[in-house]
Amino acid sequence: MSISFRKLHSLFAGEVSSVDLRNIRDRDTLERIRTGMDEYAVLVFREQSLSIQDQLGFAQRLDGKLHTKTGVSALMKNRLGDVPVGDISNVGPDGKILPRDDRKRMYSLANRLWHTDGSFQDPAGRYSMLYACVLPPVRSDTQFADMRAAYDALDDEMKATLERLTAHHSIAYSRQTLGFTFSEEEQDNLKGAVHPMIRTNPRTKRRSVYVASHANRVIEWPIAEGRLLIWDLMDRATQPHLVYSHEWRPGDLVIWDNLATMHRGTPFDDAKYHRELRRVTTLDVAYEFESMPVSELA
Ligand SMILES: [Fe+2]
């Protein structure tokens, strides 16, 4: 199937021509989407109609293995059931909007910090695929920052410095900065992970800066100095001209590369308006599509 891309921002983010992702199974089209991801880092597919199984199936066909616990489901029962699908919503099991002091709501507020999905785990998250099921009548954009452009803007000395550094990412840390508290048992389950501060796309060789609000400290540096470096890199990366703000439409599926971007939700009156999206995230592991039997792609 022939697909094309329309640029949504001067640096990155593309809208994909009309396509029904439920029917995308052939290797050439899947590879064209991966190539689009390499170039745009964020792709928008309009007017999709995806069940949970449809969304899971497409994610597996596109990028193989799925993250099972990347967000709130790591701590709380998933309203959507025992499936590797993140419930990015402000409703409870009864479908009603969560009260302002609900723990899931408090936890989810941290999505308004600039972050990358799954960086606190190893393997980290690679592609995230967020599908808009129910949207409020007001804007509730998701914003993206291009961390490849952030890398390109660094001077050579900083690039060389970052090449030698690693950072510890912890979801407990990012939540604690907002005053969220964890039990000892929860803390034990949230040890975090260490990743290089520069990531390289193995196909294009483009480098990106890999920091976000989960980045707790630079392993090789004193804590204070490392945090100042992380915050400075995030400030530089999120200047307005480097940010794409996605205004959601019902049926949108947006895919982003967590190794090349940061993202955040923007505030809206979530105690008043129902908002419901579903997210599937793939694992940052090498995956050999060429060796996959066709039956597994179907
Ligand atoms: Fe996220």
Query: Ligand 1 centre and the CA of 88: distance in Å?
Result: 9
Which CATH number fits the domain that encloses residue 176? 3.60.130.10
Query: Ligand 1 centre and the CA of 7: distance in Å?
Result: 22
Rounded to 5 degrees, φ, ψ at 243 are -110, 135
Q: In the sheet that 193-196 helps form, which strands lie side by side, from edge to edge?
A: 193-196, 166-169, 215-218
Query: Ligand 1 centre and the CA of 211: distance in Å?
Result: 13
The answer to whether residue 125 sits within a structural domain is: yes
**Amino acid 258: pLDDT:** 97
pLDDT reading at 227 higher than 60: yes
The answer to whether residue 96 sits within a structural domain is: yes
The answer to whether residue 290 sits within a structural domain is: no
The answer to whether residue 295 sits within a structural domain is: no
Residues 6+ apart with CB under 8 A from 107: 72, 75, 76, 175, 180
Query: Ligand 1 centre and the CA of 116: distance in Å?
Result: 6
Query: How high is the mean pLDDT of the chain?
Result: 92
What SS3 class is residue 78? coil
The answer to whether residue 298 sits within a structural domain is: no
Query: Ligand 1 centre and the CA of 2: distance in Å?
Result: 30
Question: What is the span of the domain harbouring residue 243?
Answer: 8-284
Query: Ligand 1 centre and the CA of 108: distance in Å?
Result: 9
From the DSSP assignment, how many helices (H) and strands (E) are in the chain? 9, 15
Query: Ligand 1 centre and the CA of 117: distance in Å?
Result: 5
H, E, C per residue of 184-232:
HHHHHHCCCEEEECEEECCCCCCEEECCCCCEEEECCCCHHHHHHHHHH
The answer to whether residue 106 sits within a structural domain is: yes
Q: What are 145-174's pLDDT values in tens digits?
A: 999 999 999 999 999 999 999 999 999 999
Count: domains in the chain: 1
- What is the reported pTM? 0.93
pLDDT reading at 254 higher than 80: yes
* pLDDT grade for 83, boundaries at 50, 70 and 90: confident
Query: Ligand 1 centre and the CA of 290: distance in Å?
Result: 29
The answer to whether residue 291 sits within a structural domain is: no
The answer to whether residue 2 sits within a structural domain is: no
Query: Ligand 1 centre and the CA of 85: distance in Å?
Result: 12
